């Protein structure tokens, strides 16, 4: 399917479907023909989270005939602030199952395919090959690059969105009419440049704003109406309540969408993992403190507002990166963050300066899980 054309297949509507979609049928440019195209369309939604939730609900309500859902995660209490396709009773369930049930309840006439697991360079081409369009609401960069490569390989439009704190971005990647994701973002940012929502936070309603735009773009592409966001990056600032637009172009040397299919890279070059650092379990903290060790928390203020390990001194990772930490010399330093990644970086930096620093495996999440389950998590 070309991104600037509607899909060619159409499925005749049943009588009750004519009533259900009557408000669409009244729209110039959509009408019965457009609704029949939606009824025959197959759309894959990657991620049943903050963005995938409104996308799935609106595409199901719009009558997209087949919805595929990809996710490898379980529903957690912290998800419910923004992931509206799930309910409190779904905590602990696979997100694909929870989302599939909700979508079927909203519109029993559509087909739902649950793909539990993560898209990889090995399976993405096979999964995407069964769909007319893919919508990427993934929360990690490796998956985004895998989706981009597979979509370019199959020649299907790739609707993409991303949110962080009070902001978000949306675009439609569809070479050769416009760039692919890798043309505009050839390399993933570092962890400190783009921390996850679990670290930096996200304003729940921003997901609704961006997700509805993504669903709108998908419906436009499937029915052939309007001007899709091809070659345009739409940006949203919720605090200023402002939308802005940035033109984007194909990269002449993009390894994903320029070279022949056999030579296309499924993802950027693998990131070399940093060497492991010395670590201790949370169960050892009390003993270590009794022997004179210092406990250091490198998380951000917002995270500490949720939960802290008693006795932890606050020294952010940014302070350590700048070499501005004021830690006593000669003491053993136990470093923790949320789950262990940022504290591992801090340990490497401190040890390079001669500090006897060790990483606390699992961070504050391990403390909650193993030492004090009554504490709030995030």
Q: Which residues are catalytic?
A: 197, 337
With a CB cutoff of 8 Å and minimum separation 6, the contacts of 253 are none
Q: Are 360 and 336 in contact (CB under 8 A)?
A: yes
Nearest C-alpha neighbor of 43 from the set 27, 61, 25, 60: 60
- Distances 236 to 83, 182, 233, 340 between C-alpha atoms, Å: 19, 21, 10, 32
Pairing mode, strands 279-280 and 356-360: parallel
Give the helix/strand (H/E) hosting 233. Answer: strand 232-237
Measured in whole angstroms, the distance separating CA 8 from the mean position of its chain's CA atoms is: 31
Token digits for 156?
A: 């299907």
Determine whether 376 is exposed, middle or buried from the number of CB atoms within 10 Å of its CB (0-12, 13-18, 19+). Answer: exposed
Dihedral angle, C-alpha 200, 206, 207, 212, nearest 10 °: -160
CA–CA dist 368, 234 (Å, integer): 39
CA–CA dist 253, 116 (Å, integer): 34
CA–CA dist 259, 2 (Å, integer): 19
What's the CA angle centered on 13, arms 70 and 222, to 5 degrees? 45
């Amino acid at each position: 399917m070309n991104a600037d054309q509607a899909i060619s297949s159409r499925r005749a509507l049943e009588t009750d479907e004519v009533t259900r979609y009557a408000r669409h049928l009244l729209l110039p440019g959509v009408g019965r023909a457009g609704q029949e195209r939606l009824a025959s369309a197959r759309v894959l939604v990657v991620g049943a989270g903050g963005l995938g939730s409104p996308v799935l609900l609106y595409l199901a309500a719009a009558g997209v005939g087949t919805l595929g859902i990809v996710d490898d995660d379980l529903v957690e209490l912290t998800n419910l602030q923004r992931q509206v396709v799930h309910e409190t009773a779904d905590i602990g369930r696979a997100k694909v199952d929870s989302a599939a049930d909700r979508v079927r309840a909203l519109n029993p006439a559509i087909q739902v395919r649950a793909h539990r697991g993560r898209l990889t360079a090995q399976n993405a081409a096979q999964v995407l090959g069964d769909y007319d369009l893919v919508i990427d609401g993934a929360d990690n960069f490796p998956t985004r690059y895998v989706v981009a490569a597979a979509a370019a390989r199959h020649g299907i439009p790739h609707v993409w969105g991303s949110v962080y704190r009070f902001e978000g971005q949306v675009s439609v990647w569809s070479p050769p009419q416009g760039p692919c994701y890798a043309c505009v973002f050839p390399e993933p940012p570092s962890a400190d440049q783009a921390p996850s929502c679990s670290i930096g936070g996200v304003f729940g309603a921003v997901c609704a704003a961006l997700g509805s735009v993504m669903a709108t773009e998908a419906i436009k592409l499937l029915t052939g109406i309007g001007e899709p966001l091809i070659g345009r990056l739409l940006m949203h600032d919720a605090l200023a309540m402002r939308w802005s637009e940035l033109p984007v172009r194909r990269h002449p040397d993009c390894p994903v969408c320029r070279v022949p299919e056999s030579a296309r890279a499924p993802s950027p070059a693998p990131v070399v993992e940093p060497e492991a650092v010395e670590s201790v379990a949370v169960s050892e903290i009390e003993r270590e403190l009794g022997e004179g060790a210092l406990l250091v928390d490198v998380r951000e203020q917002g995270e500490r507002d949720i939960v802290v390990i008693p006795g932890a001194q606050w020294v952010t990772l940014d302070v350590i990166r700048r070499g501005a930490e004021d830690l006593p010399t000669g003491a053993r330093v136990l470093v923790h963050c949320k789950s262990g990644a940022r504290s591992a970086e801090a340990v490497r930096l401190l040890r390079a300066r001669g500090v006897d620093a060790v990483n606390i495996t699992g961070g504050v999440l391990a403390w909650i899980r193993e030492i004090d389950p009554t504490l709030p998590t995030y």
